[in-house]
Amino acid sequence: MTRAEPNTQKGVAMATITMSEVATPTAAGDRFVAVALVALAAVFVALQVIAGEITPFWAPPVVVYLLLGLGLLWRAPRWLLIVAIVVPLLQVATGLPFMIPGFTHPETPASFLPEVFIVVGSLTVIAGAIVALRRTQRSRRPIAITAGVIAAAAVLTSAVASAGVASDARQAGDVAVTAANVSYPERIEIEQGGALWVENQDSFRHTFVVEGTNVRAELPGSTAVRVDGDLAPGTYKFFCDVPGHEEAMQGALYVE
Ligand SMILES: [Cu+2]
C-alpha cells in the first residue's frame, strides 16, 4: 500500500478549506477505495488476458471501476462513495451464478483465482467506502490486511490443489477429443465400448457431460481425462456445463 503526501498545491480553492476539513480523510479524495477499485479493474483485465480474448461482457466493469477510482482520487462526495458500494455489490450479485462453480474448483487456478480476487476486491471496495461514508479517521489497514490474507490463502490453496491434478494417459484405441478456445468438435464418433480421451487445452476449467447419461468428467485447465462411458448405440448430445459455455461447447456423440 503506497502512501503519498497529501496534495498541497491546490491553490486558492485549498486555502478556503479549514484545517478540520483537510484532516478528514474523505475531503480530498479517498485513496484507499480508489486503489482498491483500480486493482479490481486490473483483475478484470487479467481475466481477459488469461482467457486469451477480449469479450465485451467484461469491458463495462473495467471502465466503470477506473472512472470511479479516478473520481474518488479527486474528491469523495457521499454520492460517489454510495456508487462505489452499489456497483461492486451488483457486480458480485449478478456474477455469482457464474462464479460459484469456479469457487469449488481450486485445482484450476485460472478459473478459481480471478473469481476469488473479484469477490475479495469488491468486498474491499465496499468496506472501504462504508468506512469513508462515516467520515471517521478510522484506519483501513485491517480491511487491506484481511483482503491480503484471503487472497494469499486462495493462491496457496490453488497451488496445492492444482499440484495434485494428474492427466490421464491416452491409451491405444481412444478417440481423442479436444476442448480448446471454449469449443468442442461438432461431432464425435465412437464404437460401443470404446473410450474417449478428452484433452482440455484451455488454461481454465471445462467439463464433458453426455446428456441423459451418468457420463460426466471434470476437466481442470490444461489436463486430459479418459472418459469410459460404455454407452448403448445411438446419438447423444455432449456439452460442457460450466455456466456460459454450453452454447459454444456442444456437439453430437455417435455410438456405433
Ligand atoms: Cu467449458
pLDDT tens-digit map of 146-203: 999 999 999 999 999 999 899 999 999 999 999 999 999 999 999 999 999 999 999 8
CB half-sphere exposure, 152, CA atoms < 13 A: 6
86-128, pLDDT tens digit by residue? 999 998 998 888 888 888 999 998 889 888 998 999 999 999 9
Determine the distance separating the centroid of ligand 1 and the alpha carbon of 242, expressed in angstroms. Answer: 5
Determine the distance separating the centroid of ligand 1 and the alpha carbon of 147, expressed in angstroms. Answer: 29
Determine the distance separating the centroid of ligand 1 and the alpha carbon of 230, expressed in angstroms. Answer: 23
Q: Are residues 112 and 212 in the same domain?
A: no
Query: Within a domain: residue 2?
Result: no
Taking residue 96's Cβ as centre, other Cβ atoms within 10 Å add up to: 12
Sign of CA dihedral 80, 85, 87, 88: positive
Determine the distance separating the centroid of ligand 1 and the alpha carbon of 75, expressed in angstroms. Answer: 43
Q: Are residues 142 and 208 in the same domain?
A: no
Q: Are residues 213 and 190 in the same domain?
A: yes
C-alpha cell at 171: 491409451
Residue 84 predicted with pLDDT over 60 = yes
Determine the distance separating the centroid of ligand 1 and the alpha carbon of 56, expressed in angstroms. Answer: 18
Point out the domain boundary residue: 163, 193, 228: 163
Q: Are residues 23 and 118 in the same domain?
A: yes
Q: Are residues 157 and 179 in the same domain?
A: no
Determine the distance separating the centroid of ligand 1 and the alpha carbon of 255, expressed in angstroms. Answer: 22
Determine the distance separating the centroid of ligand 1 and the alpha carbon of 256, expressed in angstroms. Answer: 26
Q: Are residues 144 and 26 in the same domain?
A: yes
Q: Are residues 29 and 125 in the same domain?
A: yes
Query: Within a domain: residue 200?
Result: yes
Angle of helix 78-103 versus helix 109-133 axis, rounded to 10: 160
Which of 22-26, 38-42, 104-108, 204-208 shows the lowest mean pLDDT across its residues? 22-26
Phi then psi for 145, rounded to 5 degrees? -65, -45
Determine the distance separating the centroid of ligand 1 and the alpha carbon of 250, expressed in angstroms. Answer: 9
Determine the distance separating the centroid of ligand 1 and the alpha carbon of 122, expressed in angstroms. Answer: 25
pLDDT higher at 22 or 74: 74
Q: Are residues 154 and 180 in the same domain?
A: no
C-alpha span between 84 and 126 (Å, rounded): 7
Determine the distance separating the centroid of ligand 1 and the alpha carbon of 216, expressed in angstroms. Answer: 12
Q: Yes or no: say if 164 and 118 are a contact pair by the CB < 8 Å rule.
A: no
Point out the domain boundary residue: 163, 183, 203: 163
Determine the distance separating the centroid of ligand 1 and the alpha carbon of 42, expressed in angstroms. Answer: 24
Q: Are residues 35 and 102 in the same domain?
A: yes
Determine the distance separating the centroid of ligand 1 and the alpha carbon of 127, expressed in angstroms. Answer: 33
C-alpha span between 250 and 170 (Å, rounded): 22
Q: Are residues 181 and 137 in the same domain?
A: no
Arithmetic mean of pLDDT, 216-220 = 95
Which residue range forms the structural domain that includes residue 184?
175-255
Q: Are residues 187 and 67 in the same domain?
A: no
Determine the distance separating the centroid of ligand 1 and the alpha carbon of 198, expressed in angstroms. Answer: 12
Residue 133 predicted with pLDDT over 50 = yes
Residue 54: band (very low, low, confident or very high) from pLDDT cuts 50, 70, 90: low
Specify the CATH number for the domain of residue 183.
2.60.40.420
Determine the distance separating the centroid of ligand 1 and the alpha carbon of 166, expressed in angstroms. Answer: 19
Point out the domain boundary residue: 136, 163, 190: 163
Provide the domain count of the chain: 2
C-alpha span between 253 and 189 (Å, rounded): 6
Determine the distance separating the centroid of ligand 1 and the alpha carbon of 241, expressed in angstroms. Answer: 6
Query: Within a domain: residue 3?
Result: no
Q: Are residues 21 and 106 in the same domain?
A: yes
Query: Within a domain: residue 170?
Result: no
Query: Within a domain: residue 225?
Result: yes
Identity of the residue numbered 245 = H
Q: Yes or no: say if 19 and 58 are a contact pair by the CB < 8 Å rule.
A: no
Query: Within a domain: residue 122?
Result: yes
7-31, pLDDT tens digit by residue? 444 444 444 444 444 444 445 678 9
Residue 68 predicted with pLDDT over 90 = yes
pLDDT higher at 57 or 3: 57
Give the mean pLDDT of the chain: 85
Determine the distance separating the centroid of ligand 1 and the alpha carbon of 38, expressed in angstroms. Answer: 29
Query: Within a domain: residue 4?
Result: no
